[in-house]
Amino acid sequence: MGRSIARWCIRFAVAAAVFTVTATVWVQNASGWESLGLFIGALVFGVIAAVVWCAAATIGHFYVRLDWARLIVHPVLTVVLFVIVAVVVLAGFLGDTLDKTWREAQPFTALVAVCALADAAVGFALERVVALRPVRSS
C-alpha cells in the first residue's frame, strides 16, 4: 500500500509541475490585463484540475482492476471530468455562457490532457520499476 501511495504522489507531482510550468510561461508571455486574466484562470483551472485528478485516480482505483488499464483510463477520465467540472463551475457559478466558458477552458483542457498523458507515462515507468524489483523472501 505504501508503494502505491508513493507512486500516486510522484505522478501527481509530475502532473502539477507540467501544469505549473506551462501556466507560468503563458502568464509571463502575456501582456497587460491578459496576463492577470491568465493568472487567475490558471489558479481556478489548477484547483479544478487537482480535484479532478484525485477524483479520476480514485474512480480508476476502485473500478478498474488491471494496473495497465487504469493507466490508460486515467488520462481520458481526467480530461472528461475536467471539462464537465469546468463547465459547471464557470457556467453555473460564475454565470458565463457556454461559448465563453469553452473559449476560456479550451487551452487549459489541452494542458490538462498533456499533464494527464505525462502522468500516465510516469505511471507506466513506475509500474515497470516496481515490477522489476526483486521480491524478498522471508
Using one digit for the tens of pLDDT, what is the confidence trace for 53-108? Answer: 999 988 888 888 887 788 889 899 999 999 999 888 888 877 878 888 888 888 99
pLDDT at site 136: 58
Is residue 64 in a domain? Answer: yes
pLDDT at site 120: 87
Look up the domain containing 27 and give its range. Answer: 2-132
Is residue 86 in a domain? Answer: yes
Q: Can you give the pTM of this predicted structure?
A: 0.82
Q: Which three cell numbers stand for residue 82?
A: 475536467
Total count of domains within the chain: 1
pLDDT higher than 60, residue 3: yes
Q: Report yes or no: 96 and 104 within 8 Å, Cβ to Cβ.
A: yes
Is residue 137 in a domain? Answer: no
Question: Please, which residues have CB within 8 angstroms of residue 52's CB and are 6 or more apart in sequence?
Answer: 78, 81, 82, 85, 112
Is residue 123 in a domain? Answer: yes
Q: Is 66 exposed, middle or buried (0-12, 13-18, 19+ CB in 10 A)?
A: exposed
Is residue 138 in a domain? Answer: no
